[in-house]
Amino acid sequence: MARFLKNITSKIGQPPGALIYTGHHFEEKIKVTAFGYGEHDLEEKEINSFEEIIACKDQYPNIWINMDGLQDTALIEQICSHFQVHALTIEDILHPEQRPKVEEGEGYIYVVLKMLKYVGQGQMVDAEQVSVILGSNFVLSFQERPGDTFESVRNRLRGGKGRIRRSGADYLMYALMDTIVDHYFLILEKSGDLLEDLEEALLTSSSKSSLHTLYALKREMLAVRRVVWPLREVIYKLEREEYKLIKKSTHIYLRDIYDHVIQVIDTVETIRDMLASMFDLYQSTLSNRMNAIMKVLTIISTIFIPLTFIAGVYGMNFQYMPELEWPYGYPAVWGLMLMIVLGMFVFFKRKGWL
């Protein structure tokens, strides 16, 4: 859970610009793919050495280099240096604990995004850092771990229809961002289903597992919130500030993402509000059940304890106990007990406990 605090401190005491990867080290090899594309042609290849990138760079109007895995810091530095990315930016790419942000460098825009995914059965949301660098005719994207996050974008590029091949690198960056934001809705939809189940469960009973689901959802919403609020600001800046690298025609698409992010925020806050209401409901249901349990205990006890006492009295062995010798002593005691039961019954009725 406290993953968001891990590995932060390994850099303490280092001078700024020290290129050390502080994220999780996956065993797989880093995978680099390059897409050179223009309106009419497209080349897609997996890359094994830095030289191959240089080779493919200037053949096409636009090039998109995507890296899965950040372990190979040397290669990343080599590529970034080639595209004249500042050392501090490279440092940020390698520290996957950044908040979403946008920074303008010389000749490029650097955007930090967070991909959200479900991991394991505990329905925990995991955030993966995705760094995107937009240059005049190139996009570099860095993902923390392997995965097919951007497969839909690749397919649209391969298909060659729609705006994506005709437009420049800024539109490609938009497409990547859009894909990431779309995935947030997946998280929200799954959470919404859980919420619906939870509500039904709460209105009928209040088991311990409901409480844990409630808690898990709260934590999830915190994770989404942490990612989405700063993203809102990022997209706002991209749309409003006059970055030269982003064409006017792309603004309308950024506004579209902005609307989506606002929708995500709105939904997250609504879910949080509902969770708070549900927690109150849970607490009250617990109290209600406690009341019900206590009522049963109290009714049984207050009826039988006096009766048991009476039975006890006539079980005493005193030599002189006149009642014991009365012929109607035994039925009289039963009568007395019946009267007590009836009295109690009336009392509980009046209290509204029956």
Nearest approach, Cβ of residue 32 and its own copies (Å): 23
Give Rg (Cα) of the chain: 34
Amino acid at 46: E
Dihedral-angle region of residue 64 (phi above 0 means left; psi in -120 to 50 means alpha; beta otherwise): beta
**Number of C-beta neighbours around residue 319 at 10 A:** 4
Q: How far from the centroid of its chain's Cα atoms is residue 156's Cα?
A: 28
| Interface segment toward its own copies; rule CB under 8 A; list 61-69, 125-133, 136-144, 204-212 | 204-212
| Interface segment toward its own copies; rule CB under 8 A; list 21-29, 40-48, 123-131, 208-216 | 208-216
76: nearest Cα among 157, 155, 140, 14: 140
Residues 226-265 that bind its own copies (CB under 8 A): 226, 230, 252-253, 256, 259, 262-263
CB nearer to its own copies: pick between 69 and 96: 96
Degrees, nearest 5: CA angle 127-129-133 = 155
To which residue do tokens 């009522």 refer? 295
Binding of residue 19 to its own copies (CB under 8 A): no
Site string for its own copies, 40-79 (x = CB under 8 A): ----------------------------------------
Residues 320-339 that bind its own copies (CB under 8 A): 320-321, 323-325, 327, 329-330, 333
Binding of residue 298 to its own copies (CB under 8 A): yes
Nearest approach, Cβ of residue 144 and its own copies (Å): 17
Nearest approach, Cβ of residue 103 and its own copies (Å): 8
- Strand order across the 62-68 sheet: 42-47, 31-37, 62-68, 138-143, 124-134, 108-119, 101-105
CB nearer to its own copies: pick between 74 and 321: 321
Q: How far from the centroid of its chain's Cα atoms is residue 82's Cα?
A: 36
Nearest approach, Cβ of residue 204 and its own copies (Å): 10
